[in-house]
Structure 1
C-alpha cells in the first residue's frame, strides 16, 4: 500500500469533477481490477522464470533492448513521480509555513515556493538520496500511508465546513449565487479535461516495480498469499482514493483544483486541520523522494554504465536527477500535466502493456488459453488508453494555447 499510495490522491477529486461521480467510480474500479490482474500475470512469470525484477523480465523476454526499454520506462516514471512530489513542496510549503506564523508575512521570502523547493532539494533530498543505506527511510516513509488515511478523514470532515454555493471571496462569508445547479454532483461528465482522468488513475495505482522484489525476498513465498495481499492492498487503496476523491468533489464540485490541497488553501487558509494535513503530506513527500531516487538511479546506471559504479559517478548521477526534477517542478505550471503525461505513457506501460507483453512472450500456454487472451486484452486496452489519453492531452494543450 505504501508503494501504491502517493501524490496521485491529490488529483483524483479533479478527475471525478471531469468524469462525473458514476463515470469516475466505474473507471477507478476498472483500473484497480486491471492493476490486480497485471500483478497476477507478473507473479505467474516470477514463479515460472525465477526472475526477481521488472528489468530482468524485459531482458528474458527481449534481450538487452527489452531491459533498456523497461529501465528507461521506470526512470521516466520515477522522475515524473519525484517531480509531482517536488511540485507539492513548491505549492504547499509556503502556505504551511505561513499557517504557523501569526504575523503579517506578505512579501516574505518563505512565500516563494520555488526558493523553498530549491532549499529543500539541496538541504534534505539530495543528502538523503546519497546515503549508502537508507533503511530508516523505509520505515518513516511507511508513515505516508497513515498520513493518506488522515488526509481522507479530514477531507470527509471538511465537507461540512465549506458552504455551497462557494463564497466568491476567500473567506467563509456566504455569498448567494443564483445558479444553485453548481451544488449538484454530475453523474457523468465529458470535457477536454476528462483526458487527464485515466492517466491520473493509472499513475495512482502503479506499484508493479515493487511487487517482484517484495515477493522474492519473502521467507516462504506463495503466489496465492502474495496475490491476496496485493488484492487487499489495492482494495484498501481504492477505498481511500474513492472516499477522498468523493468528498473533495462534493465540497468544491466543478471548482476543485487539480491539486486538492490548493482548493482548501483558498477557502480555509488558516484552518488548523488543513495546516496539519499539509504538514503531514509534506513530511511524507520529503521522506519518499529520496527512496524513489534509488530505483531511478539504478535504472539510469543500467542504461548508460556497464561497469561497477564509482562514488563520484553515483554523486553526479544523483545530482543530475535532483536538478532535473527540481527544474520540472519549477517550470511545470500544473500538477495535472505530470499526472497526465506520465500516467498516459510510462504508467500505462508498466501497469498494462509490459505485464501482458511479457506474459505472451514467456508463457508456453496455448494462445487461446484464458490467461493469454486476458494478457492480450490487457495489452490492447493499455495501448488504447495510453494513445487516446496522450492524444487528447496534446489537443487540450494546443486548444489552451
Structure 2
C-alpha cells in the first residue's frame, strides 16, 4: 500500500540516517590528506553512494518488493533472505552500539561541565551506566516502538537542527580563535621542545604562540622549583606554518581518512523502509529524496571539515570537539547538541531490522 510520509519528512529521515558521529572526524581526515585530496574523496564517495542507491531502487522495482529479505530471496533463495536479514541487523546493531557508547562516555562530562565540576564526584547522574540506561528506556525505546518510520521525521528534524548548530559553532570558532595551539606538559617530550622550567624564559621565541606558561613556585628552601601545572600553549608549527593550509599532503595517518570518509554516506539499510512509507512512491521521487539528502550532508560535511581544519590545522584532534577547550560554554552546548542528535539517530537506525520479516511477529 501507498505510504503516508511526506517528501520533506523522508528527506529528514534519510539525512539523519546518513549523518552520524563520523562528522566529528572529517577535519582530522582533511588534515591528513589536504583540502583538495579530501574534496576528491568526499565527492567520489557521495557519487558512489547516490549511484548505489539508484541500483538498489532499480532492483527493488524490477523484483517488485521493497524489503531487503525479499530481494535476497529472489536473488539467492532462502539462504539469500537469511543473509540479507543478518547483514542489515548486524550493521545496524553495530551503528547503534557506537552511538550508545558515545552517549555513555560523553554525557557524564557534559553534565559535569554544565554543573561547573572538574571531576566526577560520585553522583548517579554522572555515571555513564545509569545515564545510558535512562536515555535508552525513556527516549530511544518509545521512539523505536513506533510502527511507522514517518513519525520519526520530526525527531530527525530536531537531530538535524542540532547538527546545524554544531556546524554554525565550528564556523564561529574559526573566526574568534587564535592560531592553532597545542597544550603539552612542559616536563614531557610530547611537544616540539623539552622545556626546563628553570630556564624557560630563555626559550621564548617565535615558536611559542601564547601564554600562560607553567607557573613556578619555590619550596621553603628556595632551591627546588615546584611546578604548578598550567598547560603551556605551544604550537607544533612555526608562526608561518600555522596559517598555511595544505592542499595536498599524505601523513602516516592518512590511511585512517579513507574509512572515515567512506562511511560518511552510509544510509542504505534505511533506503527501502523510507521508500516503502513515501507518499506517492516512485523510483524517481525516492531518488530525489536520496540526492537531496546526500547533497545536504555533503555540504555540511565539507563545511565542517574545512572550518574545523582551518581552525586547528595540523593540531586538530581525531574527534573535532576534543580540540576545543573543555570549559568553553559554547562547546559544552555543542557537545550536548551532538549527543541529542546521536540519540535521536538510534531509532532510525533500529527501524530496518525491527521492521524485517524476522521481527514482524513483535508488531502483531
TM-score by length of 2: 0.73
Among candidates 173, 189, 193, match of residue 158 of structure 1:
173
Q: CA deviation at 1:172?
A: 7.2
Distance, in Å, in 1 between the alignment partners of 2:28 and 2:73 is 38
Query: What are the within-5 Å matches in structure 2 for residues 1-400 of structure 1?
Result: 1-102=15-116, 104-109=117-122, 115-116=127-128, 118-126=129-137, 128-131=139-142, 132-133=145-146, 137-168=152-183, 173=211, 175=233, 177=235, 179-180=238-239, 181-264=241-324, 268-296=325-353, 302=358, 308=361
Q: For residues 168 and 62 of structure 1, do their structure 2 counterparts lie closer, same or farther at Cα, with a shift above 3 Å needed?
A: same
TM-score by length of 1: 0.67
Q: CA deviation at 1:36?
A: 0.7
Distance, in Å, in 1 between the alignment partners of 2:55 and 2:120 is 54
Deviations along 1:227-277, one digit per CA (max 9) or x if unpaired, are 22221211111000000011111112222222211212xxx2232221211
Q: CA deviation at 1:138?
A: 4.7
Q: CA deviation at 1:143?
A: 1.0
Q: For residues 69 and 97 of structure 1, do their structure 2 counterparts lie closer, same or farther at Cα, with a shift above 3 Å needed?
A: same
Alignment partner of 1:168: what SS? Answer: strand
Q: For residues 287 and 236 of structure 1, do their structure 2 counterparts lie closer, same or farther at Cα, with a shift above 3 Å needed?
A: closer
Q: Which has the larger radius of gyration?
A: 2
Q: For residues 185 and 55 of structure 1, do their structure 2 counterparts lie closer, same or farther at Cα, with a shift above 3 Å needed?
A: farther
RMSD (Å), alpha carbons: 3.0
Q: For residues 165 and 229 of structure 1, do their structure 2 counterparts lie closer, same or farther at Cα, with a shift above 3 Å needed?
A: closer
Which structure dedicates a bigger proportion of its chain to helix?
A: 1
Does the Cα contact within 8 Å between 1:94 and 1:110 map onto a contact in 2? no
Deviations along 1:134-170, one digit per CA (max 9) or x if unpaired, are 7665522331111111111111110123221415369
Does the Cα contact within 8 Å between 1:95 and 1:111 map onto a contact in 2? no
Distance, in Å, in 2 between the alignment partners of 1:65 and 1:57 is 11
Gaps of 5+ in 1: 312-401
Distance, in Å, in 1 between the alignment partners of 2:299 and 2:66 is 30
Q: CA deviation at 1:129?
A: 5.0
Farther-moved stretch of structure 1 (202-211 vs 281-290): 281-290
Q: CA deviation at 1:110?
A: 5.8
Q: For residues 86 and 259 of structure 1, do their structure 2 counterparts lie closer, same or farther at Cα, with a shift above 3 Å needed?
A: farther
Q: CA deviation at 1:42?
A: 1.3
- Name the structure, 1 or 2, with higher relative contact order (CA <8 Å, separation 6+): 2
Alignment partner of 1:164: what SS? Answer: coil
Q: CA deviation at 1:133?
A: 2.8
